[in-house]
């Protein structure tokens, strides 16, 4: 997994877009390959060649922008030649197709293009082809990259929904069922980076068949399918459920609710493979082996060979689970586990001993020291992966429950505050800028008073989801107060943070909250402070708060960066905010 | 400042390819510092242009439905006309086509593929040349 704290957010996003384009190349190359084969067999007809010219044209115009100029050039040349053929197409079927020579020539060019695309699209995506692993491209799940697939039969029922979902920051791909991207060969590439499929209830069986044919992985992942229906009668829902759909939304669709559901699917998918495991073993080779095995299964390992480094390493790495040898030279794993438990923060961290000890009584003795379980060496790779995965997932669920706000599933007040301080320390070590951003929904009381508290909750959840969608996995987002959010933007300077938050504000202010026939829109104000300027995390939060208040004074619906001139002013409620 | 007053700040870009729209958004907003509005079709551009009030319009030439030139004509034939400069984006750059687009009233043509790091500069360059 790439962890490069020095990349700026723009580069991150460019990279993510490039990755997405690579996915598109993979899909595209399969159909181009098919066209090439048809030409080779001289099995061509005008309509499909026109279609092919269109595709080549798009590729010629876009590939260079995403950093694949050669693909673009090859596509352009081919487009030109094929276009000439199409323009001179004999108009009665008797003459059939371009001459044999032309076909062969074109087929050769197609092969060159496809080969180039294969090379280019194979390169920048590491981890993908490792056997028996399910490494999910992070970029496809976070930031703006959550991709939804809307399957439509050309009717316009879902058009508004597509627009609405795009406003929430999703990347929505709309395809007809007969699109070639659903063909046997293309399907895996298509479905690989789609988080959820959405369709009209009438086509549920057909869509389910298309999206469920994806069992190549060792642990098959079934794409969640959501159906939209007219009424929500029992029969309709029953049919949808029996086709394997995960959710049903009657019209008019409660979009915030749907977004919420999609978010849980995304988390589900992510949590299948993620997990951070710290391995403490003085046998370097064995530790290295465990580390490789876990990494191959999508778990992020960190090896600590020297027990004296343990606590520091824990703070830096924040594992979901610790695997520890019970005898570490002249140190005892049991005592180390006890030391870990000195810290309230690590009370719930699962610790698993690795040991050759198979005497149950001694095991029990060791467990009383504060660990959770024994794995007896030698451990098979498969057993190690499965037991670690299971426990990571469970540990995540538990910490979710403890650390997250129930309405928004964002970090709770105390946790996000700690996160600011942690980021301050991290960014000092790594010598990069990071920002704390405090956001407050404008006139929230008015929303509650006018539309009711339930609508107020919808607004809060909508902002939470939008933030989750637009920020990176490495950023931390918390619910700081009722309608206040605190965000930690790692490796991001103040102007970049201002840009980013400004864009999120723009999206947020475009969201329409519907209540019966009426609808309303909401804005927020935000203050930004560069964490690195301060000696303590709390001071950075206070500075962000001052910038927020300054923004509110200057008129809401905007973003402001903290500067020294705001330092002395009072923040008392007497200001009327 | 007096020169800058003519420089566009708000750009409306009409482009049917969603991937290109995403990267153009980055190129215009983040790299270029424009306020940008991205539309997926000529019809959408017609619907939003009054609210957005762009200083400049960028049109992809080849789009399903209304293509770039048709979109331009539709924008121009509104009662208030189209009082801001227009730039076409095209992957097929032939001299005859450039002539045709300029004749329609465009101030320039940007070839595709474009470089996301320099797209904004190119727009500003065309706008400066068009304004002088």
CA distance A330 to A55: 67
* Cα separations in angstroms, A393 against A273, A275, A344, A509, B29: 9, 8, 21, 36, 39
Domain boundaries, chain B: 7-125
State the Cα angle at A259 between A253 and A263, rounded to 5°.
150
Chain A residue with the nearest C-alpha to that of B112: A61
Give the length of chain A.
577
Architecture of domain A138-268: 3-Layer(aba) Sandwich (3.40)
Domain boundaries, chain A: 9-122, 138-268, 276-403, 413-575
Chain A interface, mutation test: which of B25, B26, B91, most A Cβ atoms within 10 Å? Answer: B91
Nearest-CB residue to A66 (from B18, B23, B91): B23
Could you check whether A138-268 and A276-403 share the same CATH topology?
Answer: yes
Is A58's CB within 8 Å of B116's CB? no
- Measured between beta carbons, which residues in chain A are less than 8 angstroms from residue B91? 57-58, 60-62, 76
pLDDT value at position A271?
55
* Cα separations in angstroms, A496 against A433, A439, B32: 10, 16, 13
> CATH number of B7-125: 3.40.50.800, 3.40.50.2300, 1.10.357.10, 3.40.50.970?
3.40.50.2300
Q: Could you tell me which of A463, A545, A544 has the C-alpha nearest to residue A504?
A: A463
A62/chain B closest Cα distance in angstroms: 5
Beta strands in A385-521 (DSSP E): 435-441, 476-479, 484-489, 513-515, 518-520
pLDDT value at position B28?
92
ipTM over 0.90: no
Chain B interface, mutation test: which of A21, A25, A59, A62, most B Cβ atoms within 10 Å? Answer: A62
CA distance B56 to B75: 12
The whole-number mean pLDDT for each consecutive block of 10 residues of chain A, a chain of 577 residues, reads 45 78 83 83 81 86 83 86 80 58 79 80 44 30 63 78 81 83 74 84 85 48 81 82 86 84 74 76 84 81 88 85 86 86 82 79 73 77 82 76 81 90 87 94 93 89 88 87 94 92 92 87 96 93 95 94 78 45
pLDDT value at position A269?
66
A104's enclosing H/E stretch is helix A100-122
Would you identify the CATH topology of the domain A9-122? 1.20.120
pLDDT value at position A133?
28
pLDDT value at position A31?
83
Q: What is the pLDDT of residues B59-112, one digit of tens each?
A: 999 888 899 999 999 999 999 899 999 999 988 767 788 888 888 889 999 988
CA distance A507 to A202: 32
Q: Which residues of A are catalytic?
A: 483
| Contacts for A1 with CB less than 8 Å, ≥ 6 apart | A127, A138, A300
Q: Could you tell me which of B117, B51, B45 has the C-alpha nearest to residue B75?
A: B45
Specify whether the backbone of A531 is left (phi greater than 0), alpha (psi in -120 to 50) or beta.
alpha
pLDDT value at position A180?
78
pLDDT value at position A216?
40
Is A62's CB within 8 Å of B112's CB? yes
Q: Spell out the CATH class of A413-575.
A: alpha beta
Q: What is the pLDDT of residues A517-566, one digit of tens each?
A: 888 999 999 999 999 999 999 999 999 999 999 999 999 999 999 998 88
Strand partners, A513: A520
Classify strands A558-561 and A171-175 as parallel, antiparallel or unpaired: unpaired
A484/chain B closest Cα distance in angstroms: 26
Q: Is A360 helix (H, G, I), strand (E, B) or coil?
A: helix
Is A60's CB within 8 Å of B90's CB? no
Architecture of domain A276-403: 3-Layer(aba) Sandwich (3.40)
Q: Could you tell me which of B71, B17, B129 has the C-alpha nearest to residue A63?
A: B17
Q: What is the DSSP string of A258-307?
A: HHHHHHHHHHHHHHHH--EEEEE-S-HHHHHHHHHHHHHTT-EEEEE--G
pLDDT value at position A440?
97
Residue B14 pLDDT > 60, yes or no?
yes
The answer to whether the beta carbons of residues A151 and A105 sit under 8 Å apart is no
């Amino acid at each position: 997994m790439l962890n490069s704290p020095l990349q700026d957010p723009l580069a991150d996003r460019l990279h993510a877009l490039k990755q997405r384009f690579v996915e598109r190349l993979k899909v595209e190359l399969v159909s181009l390959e098919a066209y090439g084969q048809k030409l080779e067999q001289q099995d061509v007809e005008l309509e499909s060649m026109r279609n092919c010219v269109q595709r080549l044209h798009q590729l010629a115009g876009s590939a260079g922008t995403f950093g694949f100029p050669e693909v673009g050039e090859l596509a352009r040349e081919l487009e030109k030649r094929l276009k000439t053929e199409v323009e001179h197409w004999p108009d009665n079927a008797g003459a059939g197709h371009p001459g044999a020579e032309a076909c062969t020539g074109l087929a050769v060019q197609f092969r060159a293009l496809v080969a180039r695309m294969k090379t280019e699209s194979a390169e920048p995506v590491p981890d993908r082809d490792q056997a028996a692993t399910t490494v999910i491209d992070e970029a496809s799940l976070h930031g703006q990259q959550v991709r939804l697939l809307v399957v439509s039969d050309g009717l316009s029922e879902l058009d508004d929904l597509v627009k609405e979902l795009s406003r929430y920051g999703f990347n929505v791909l709309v395809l007809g069922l007969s699109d070639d991207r659903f063909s046997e060969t293309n399907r895996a590439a298509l479905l690989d980076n789609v988080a959820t499929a959405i369709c009209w209830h009438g086509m549920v069986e057909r869509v389910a068949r298309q999206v469920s044919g994806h069992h190549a992985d060792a642990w098959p992942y079934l794409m969640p399918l959501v159906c939209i229906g007219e009424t929500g009668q029992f029969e309709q829902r029953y049919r949808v459920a029996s086709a394997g759909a995960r959710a049903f939304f009657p019209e008019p669709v409660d979009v915030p609710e749907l977004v919420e559901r999609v978010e849980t699917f995304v988390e589900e998918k992510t949590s299948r493979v993620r997990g951070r495991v710290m391995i403490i073993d003085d046998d370097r080779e064995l530790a290295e082996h465990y580390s490789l095995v876990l990494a191959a299964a999508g778990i992020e390992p960190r090896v600590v060979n020297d027990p004296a480094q343990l606590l520091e390493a824990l703070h830096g790495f924040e594992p979901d689970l610790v695997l520890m040898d019970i005898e570490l030279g002249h140190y005892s794993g049991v005592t180390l586990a006890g030391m870990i438990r000195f810290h309230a923060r690590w009370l719930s961290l699962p610790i698993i001993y690795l040991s050759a000890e198979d005497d149950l009584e001694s095991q029990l003795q060791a467990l009383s020291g504060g660990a959770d379980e024994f794995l007896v060496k030698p451990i098979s790779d498969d057993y190690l992966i499965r037991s670690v995965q299971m426990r990571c997932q469970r540990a995540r669920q538990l910490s979710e429950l403890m650390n997250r706000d129930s309405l928004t599933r964002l970090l709770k007040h105390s946790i996000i505050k700690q996160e600011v301080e942690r980021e301050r320390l991290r960014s000092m070590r790594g010598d990069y800028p990071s920002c704390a951003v405090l956001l407050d929904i404008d006139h929230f009381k008015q929303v509650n008073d006018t539309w009711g508290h339930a609508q107020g909750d919808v607004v809060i959840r909508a902002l939470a989801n939008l933030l989750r969608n637009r920020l990176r996995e490495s950023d931390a987002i918390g619910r700081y107060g009722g309608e206040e959010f605190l965000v930690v933007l790692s490796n991001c300077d103040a102007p970049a943070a201002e840009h980013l938050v400004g864009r999120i504000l723009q999206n947020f202010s475009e969201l329409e909250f519907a209540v019966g026939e009426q609808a309303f829109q909401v804005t927020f104000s935000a203050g930004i402070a560069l964490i690195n300027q301060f000696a303590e995390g709390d001071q950075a939060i206070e500075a962000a708060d001052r910038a927020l208040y300054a923004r509110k004074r200057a008129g809401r619906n905007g973003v402001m960066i903290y500067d020294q001139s705001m330092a002395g002013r009072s923040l008392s409620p007497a200001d009327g905010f | 400042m007096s020169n800058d007053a003519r420089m566009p700040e708000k750009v409306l870009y009409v482009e049917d390819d969603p991937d290109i729209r995403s990267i153009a958004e980055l190129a215009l907003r983040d790299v270029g510092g424009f306020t940008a509005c991205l539309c997926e079709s000529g019809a959408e551009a017609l619907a939003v242009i009054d609210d957005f009030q762009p200083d400049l319009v960028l049109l992809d030439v080849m789009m399903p439905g209304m293509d770039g030139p048709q979109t331009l004509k539709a924008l121009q034939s509104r009662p208030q006309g189209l009082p801001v400069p227009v730039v076409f984006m095209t992957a097929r750059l032939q001299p005859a086509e450039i002539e045709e687009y300029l004749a329609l009233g465009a101030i320039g043509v940007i070839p595709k593929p474009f470089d996301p790091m320099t797209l904004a500069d190119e727009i500003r360059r065309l706008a400066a040349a068009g304004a002088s």
